[in-house]
Structure 1
């Protein structure tokens, strides 16, 4: 049988986490419940938790999908504003819609949790309930290959491609070893950028959660919030989210602090898994030349090499990453749309977009800074 819960705290963490494949930091009960309990999602945010559950005859959880009833398209990073605007002009209700993904977190990973047979039943039930719940469709963002295989075989689901930039550790001994793989011009550029930051008297310190006090989390949130405030926007995450996450997932948190003459001026906040560093948020309290590149990219590369991590995912978008050794990778999302006219229009749009994304990926690979072997 299927049901929906609007609060993960009502479900034992062990039941939810037992369904997770390895390495899924952002799908853990601790992460998603911290978003809910801090008020980052919930009433008044346009993100209403409505997590899908499948249980067996004994009431045991056999499959699940994180899901939200969305009243807008903010914080998703798979952009469907054009679809929503076309619906508005045509008099079609696009919101509310259902979204399965991790709020404000464009990290590819598991979205459908459980065995394929149970998930097929969960999807079938969820598709059938869209109309009665007044939702225009179901969107599943930043999937992993197991999800793709399941959805590709289901009628009505439309695949959408995207592109991110990830850095891969090919057994580098240190940052200089990485630099030696780049072309001469790019190697000089990266050295110059790092020297420019060091020349401003800025030094860096990596901390884990045990080394952070509440005043330090105050600083992290102030920096994070400023990246939104300079654009005239409110930050997605409230201050309390960081404290909850530090309490519930302390082993995963990493913060790099940038200091100028002992005074903290910037930070980058990441989560670290078994083989990957996930760069999430950054911010600075004043402007410094090239500080963003150093804090968000070069420090993460340094740390990934030191920790012998296989890759570093530094967030969505950003062609500036390409020129600094981050490689283009395909991302996927899936979309089930009820309105036949909207669906037909999106089918045509996605066919054209797929060609453009594939061409962009190939072109981007041609601009990588690595020396030709």
Structure 2
């Protein structure tokens, strides 16, 4: 798909098949520090072959220029499938096909393989963000894509997109929220007695696996740690998706350019890594991303992925832990349901109307579910 012509007398919208064509300092200056929308993360996906030719994720990043200066940007991909998105639209694709249309290609404004919310329309100017959305729809119309999907965006972006004619969608994840806790025990004190005892017992059993747990960041990370984690990732990815999304080279890129942005929680026994959880660190949140193991031990998954993440967030004053997609088992461990926002637009007006009706009903049901799950959570009821 070619670059779009001048949008107005003042603004020019361009597309870029490689993020390397956009200066890193320019891209990052438009963002909010979220690790997943940094130039270095998106570049790592591309140079490692995790996205690009043959993956179904073809980069088509947008920039808006004013007088030769980039004033807005968005991570954008042409998609030939719906894998690796975590805001599920497989049923929409099937319905579109039954109606005689072609759902693919579609345009996806997102971070590949990353169910973590953050800014998608990179500009402090609301008018520029609206122009980015308008540019995406123009690109879909001219390039033959069925529509545009902006996933894991912020609530403000969802409101702005709804005003611009996109359909807002609300799903949910489970997040842990730091209420100024000084310690894990202080957090536990907010839970019901039964839940508090259960989690203490769970952590003790997990930590009795016969080894040690280490937190690795920055220069403490070595190639052998990534070799071990690659084995873990392959095991988990093979069981969940058939083929892991990320290549081995991606983790080498992370070591080179993002080792200060990650926390690897590693379980070792007899001097050998047996399990690990990889987290990315944002300005105010810890993002749990990948887990895997080569030995099974009771509750070790929960310890490395959820409890150790809470420990780190408390120790470093982070506001929350986002533990990834799905998993109501997180509720019992102090993670509460949180709304997740996305925006959707399709070119076919009839399908768009049907989708609007579906999403209206889904949002109402999701609101009821979030309220019920929150009430069902492990925290002590306030009198």
Query: Same fold by TM (over 0.5)?
Result: yes
Alignment check: 8 A CA contact 2:173 2:326 kept: yes
Q: How does 1:206-245 map to 2 (within 5 A)?
A: 206-231=215-240, 233-245=242-254
Which residue pairs with 2:330 in the alignment?
Answer: 321
**1:192, distance to aligned residue in structure 2 (A):** 1.5
| TM-score, scaled to structure 2 | 0.94
Which residue pairs with 1:77 in the alignment?
Answer: 86
**2:142 partner SS:** coil
Q: How does 1:142-291 map to 2 (within 5 A)?
A: 142-155=152-165, 157-231=166-240, 233-291=242-300
Unaligned runs of 5+ in 1: none
**1:142 partner SS:** strand
Alignment check: 8 A CA contact 2:168 2:344 kept: yes
- Provide the C-alpha distance between the structure 1 equivalents of 2:185 and 2:272, rounded to a whole number of angstroms: 28
**1:94 partner SS:** coil
Which residue pairs with 1:28 in the alignment?
Answer: 38
**1:126, distance to aligned residue in structure 2 (A):** 2.6
**2:152 partner SS:** coil
Which residue pairs with 2:118 in the alignment?
Answer: 109
- Provide the C-alpha distance between the structure 1 equivalents of 2:261 and 2:135, rounded to a whole number of angstroms: 35
Which residue pairs with 2:135 in the alignment?
Answer: 125
Task: Return structure 1 stretches of 4+ with deviation > 4 angstroms.
Answer: none
| TM-score, scaled to structure 1 | 0.96
Which residue pairs with 2:14 in the alignment?
Answer: 3
Change (3 A) 1:160 1:232: closer
Alignment check: 8 A CA contact 2:140 2:146 kept: yes
Unaligned runs of 5+ in 2: 1-11
Once the two structures are superposed, residues 70-123 of structure 1 have per-residue CA deviations (whole angstroms, 9 ceiling, x without a partner) of: 000001010000000111222210000000011011111100011222232332
**1:35, distance to aligned residue in structure 2 (A):** 0.5
Alignment check: 8 A CA contact 1:246 1:253 kept: no
**1:231, distance to aligned residue in structure 2 (A):** 4.2
**1:32 partner SS:** helix
**1:193 partner SS:** helix
**1:246, distance to aligned residue in structure 2 (A):** 1.9
**1:251, distance to aligned residue in structure 2 (A):** 1.7
Which residue pairs with 1:136 in the alignment?
Answer: 146
- Provide the C-alpha distance between the structure 2 equivalents of 1:263 and 1:283, rounded to a whole number of angstroms: 14
- Provide the C-alpha distance between the structure 2 equivalents of 1:222 and 1:340, rounded to a whole number of angstroms: 47
Alignment check: 8 A CA contact 1:266 1:283 kept: yes
Change (3 A) 1:86 1:303: same
Change (3 A) 1:126 1:219: same
Once the two structures are superposed, residues 31-79 of structure 1 have per-residue CA deviations (whole angstroms, 9 ceiling, x without a partner) of: 011001101100000000001111113x211111110000000010100
Q: Which of residues 337, 340, 343 in structure 1 aligns to 2:352? A: 343
- Provide the C-alpha distance between the structure 1 equivalents of 2:149 and 2:266, rounded to a whole number of angstroms: 36
**1:113 partner SS:** coil
- Provide the C-alpha distance between the structure 1 equivalents of 2:146 and 2:256, rounded to a whole number of angstroms: 37
Once the two structures are superposed, residues 274-327 of structure 1 have per-residue CA deviations (whole angstroms, 9 ceiling, x without a partner) of: 321111111111222111111100111111112222211111111011111111
- Provide the C-alpha distance between the structure 2 equivalents of 1:149 and 1:80, rounded to a whole number of angstroms: 21
- Provide the C-alpha distance between the structure 2 equivalents of 1:307 and 1:130, rounded to a whole number of angstroms: 43
RMSD of equivalent CA atoms: 1.3
1:333 and 2:352 are equivalent in the alignment: no
